[in-house]
Amino acid sequence: MSRGRIAVLVSNDLSFDQRVRKTCATLQKAGYEPVLIGRRMAKTDASSIDRPYPTHRIWLRASRGPMFYLLLQQGLLKVLNEIHANGGLVAIWANDLDTLGPAVYGGRKWNVDVAYDSHEWFTEAEGLKNKPIRKGIWIWWQRRMFRHLCRMLTVNEAIAKAYRTQGLEVDVVPNVPELSPPAVPMSRADLGWPEQNTVLLIQGAFMDRDRGALDAVRSLVHLPNIHLALIGAGPEFDDAPELASALGVRDRLHVHERMPFHKLCRCTVAADVGLSLDRSTVDNFKFSLPNKLFDYLHAGLPVVCTDLPVAGRFVTEEGVGQVVEAVKGDDEVALATSKAILALLDNKPSSDHLSEVASRHHWGSHEATLLQAIHPLR
């Protein structure tokens, strides 16, 4: 028997958010009926996607700024009202702060449970850097919304500690993959990658500023015969080919638009080394534990990671790769990154060790914690 419908709210494109996909799968396995609500990135996109539960994608006239957030709240509330009027809801699941308002409003209006999953340290995100007014508004909004919550989820213990100062019970569900057999590697010939040379990989649905794609391109200057593949989207992804051309390494850079998860897994397995090169320019990056780290491990790839408090410590303590020396300046970072890559290639962790670490970090081990996030409002 169904335990009822849960509306799951996101502000991005439904197709590429793997944490939300896994959340919905967990809810469905637990007997709930998830209804996933997000947005269309282009007006011509379909209004739903192929999932084993209902999906709704709303179109917004604005894609950034105050008007975008206003239209997002209105659009999510409109769909929530329609869903509740057509069969009701038992809970609303908000992903990140920009969807929490409609969730709290609906929870209070219909007396249904709410869950809140913060995928990042939202008020310390790169997009709010050097924007004190905008950041202040989000901090005010977060404080106002948190008055109605009892608990929440986030992605690692460092960010959880920051949120606990707001008076909430905060549980951690890291961005880890589901436990499954390794994917069959995609043909390097089909990808345009060399068969014999080492291929480094950075994957990311949105490569924002200071996420390391440009640092990886610069490191190629010091890594003759080594190639770099970027899979994703975002500002650094867009700028990488021009920088590679200017540095004379364009022939060793391979760029691929973001792709469905099953195809991404096959590409990941085809690479040799996974890179996670976030800079510590904002606290959201500094204290992150990126999901790509775990995607690499589950694909059997060793990792090169920047020296950050959480991610760097994980790589060192688990013995799954090399940490880049902390230096400043683009040229210095590129040289330090290349040295870490060469050190890793000289002393790779064994595939058995990588597999053992991956077996301890998977989504299924956190599903009970995730389900506990559903709670009545204060």
Write down the pLDDT at residue 359: 93
**To the nearest 10°, the Cα dihedral for 38, 204, 326, 344?**
150
Which of 5, 17, 6, 4 minimizes the C-alpha distance to 264?
17
Q: Put the strands of the sheet holding 303-306 in their side by side order.
A: 253-257, 227-232, 199-204, 273-276, 303-306, 321-324
Cα–Cα distance measured from residue 223 to residue 304, given in angstroms and rounded to the nearest whole number:
14
pLDDT at 14: 77
* 8 Å CB contact between 6 and 27: yes
Instruction: Label residue 48 by pLDDT band (50, 70, 90).
Output: confident
Helix and strand totals (H; E) in the chain: 15, 13
What pLDDT shows up at residue 241? 97
pLDDT for residue 250: 97
Q: Residue 280 — very low, low, confident or very high, per pLDDT cuts 50/70/90?
A: confident
Give the residue-averaged pLDDT of 83-99.
95
- pLDDT, residue 204, reads 84
Region 261-276: mean pLDDT is 94
Instruction: Choose the weakest-confidence range: 152-156, 200-204, 207-211, 270-274.
Output: 207-211
Helix 351-360 vs helix 291-298: crossing angle, to nearest 10: 130
pLDDT of residue 63: 81
Q: How far apart are CA 135 and CA 363, in angstroms?
A: 32
pLDDT digits (tens, 9 = 90+) for 311-361: 999 999 999 999 999 999 999 999 999 999 999 999 999 999 999 999 999
Confidence of residue 66 (pLDDT cuts 50, 70, 90): confident
Q: What is the mean pLDDT of residues 32-53?
A: 89
Q: What does the pLDDT average to over 69-85?
A: 94
Phi first, then psi, for residue 360 (nearest 5°) are -95, -10
The amino acid at residue 318 is E
pLDDT score recorded for residue 282: 81
Average pLDDT over residues 171-184: 91
pTM of the model: 0.86
Task: Please state whether 278 falls in left (phi above 0), alpha (psi between -120 and 50) or beta.
Answer: beta
Alpha-carbon distance of 228 to 289, in angstroms, equals 22
Q: How many CB atoms lie within 10 A of CB 92?
A: 32
If one compares 236 and 180, the residue with the highest pLDDT of the two is 236
Distances (CA, A) of 41 to 16, 44, 47, 54: 12, 9, 10, 18
Spatial contact of 17 and 205, defined as CB atoms under 8 Å apart: yes
How many other C-beta atoms can be found within 10 angstroms of the C-beta atom of residue 266?
A: 19
Q: How confident is the model at residue 16 (pLDDT cuts 50, 70, 90)?
A: confident
Per-residue pLDDT for 286 more than 80?
yes
Among 114, 76, 75, CA closest to 92: 114
Q: What is the mean pLDDT of the chain?
A: 93
Decide if 269 contacts 250 (C-beta within 8 A): no
Confidence label for 126 from pLDDT (cuts 50, 70 and 90): confident
The pLDDT of 108-137, averaged and rounded, is: 91
Helices (H), the chain: 18-29, 65-85, 100-110, 132-146, 157-164, 188-191, 213-219, 235-247, 261-270, 283-286, 291-298, 311-318, 330-346, 351-360, 367-371
Q: Specify the pLDDT at position 362.
A: 95
